[in-house]
Amino acid sequence: MKKWIILVCVVILIAIGFSVNVYFQSTKPLNSAKNYAEKKAKEKANLDSVDQFYLYNGDETYYITVGKQTNGEEIAVWIPEKNSNNVTVEKMSDGISKTEAVNRLKSKVDPTKILGTRLGMLNKEPVWEISYLDKSSNLNYAYIYFLKNNNKPPYMITNI
């Protein structure tokens, strides 16, 4: 009986060790992208601190960081994966907030559930990408333009 308990404990420890290893290996690319984006944003936009990181996969992959400069100004930086010297920098005060983007979506459609909201880039313009489920449980994407002075209607892709 004692051998069975030891064997079960060893198997459980091996399973836990394997699971922890799989977790760390799977998060390594995301952590690497985040570290790279933070370094690039500090270099290109003089960010003092980075508060948020978004990974956007559209026509191109972008790393987006949101942080503060030494003067306290909150800045968003869009860094394309393939041409990392061609960054876009915008003041967060020049754009709409995540909450306002969701409210704009809700004024156009009635989502059943908002799955996620992240900054992205659509046709070289900063956007909020909102993924949501409709009443038929279909996955949908809406793109709300980030800049306040952009009066374009939201761009939506539905029924994915």
Overall pTM > 0.85: no
Q: What is the largest CA-CA distance in the chain?
A: 74
- How much is the pLDDT for 4? 80
Among 144, 125, 101, 120, smallest CA distance to 55 is for 120
CA distances (Å), origin 70, targets 42, 46, 47, 61, 150: 11, 8, 7, 28, 28
- How much is the pLDDT for 114? 94
Final residue of a structural domain among 45, 76, 94: 94
Residues 9 and 79 in one domain: yes
Residues 119 and 80 in one domain: no
Residues 38 and 8 in one domain: yes
Residues 78 and 122 in one domain: no
Residues 89 and 107 in one domain: no
Residues 104 and 145 in one domain: yes
- The two structure tokens encoding residue 3: 């051998």
Rounded Cα distance, 117 and 65, in Å: 14
- How much is the pLDDT for 133? 93
Final residue of a structural domain among 94, 119, 140: 94
Rounded Cα distance, 39 and 103, in Å: 33
Residues 19 and 63 in one domain: yes
Range of the domain at 71: 2-94
- How much is the pLDDT for 74? 93
Rounded Cα distance, 63 and 68, in Å: 16
Q: How many domains does the chain have?
A: 2
Final residue of a structural domain among 69, 94, 119: 94
Residues 117 and 75 in one domain: no
How many CB atoms sit inside 10 A of residue 39's CB?
Answer: 14
Q: Compute CA 60 distance to the chain's CA centroid, rounded to the nearest angstrom.
A: 14
Tens of pLDDT along the chain (160 residues) come to: 777 888 888 888 888 887 887 777 776 776 777 888 888 888 888 888 888 999 998 888 999 999 998 888 999 999 998 877 788 999 999 999 999 999 988 988 889 999 999 999 988 889 999 999 988 889 999 999 998 877 676 666 766 6
Rounded Cα distance, 128 and 119, in Å: 5
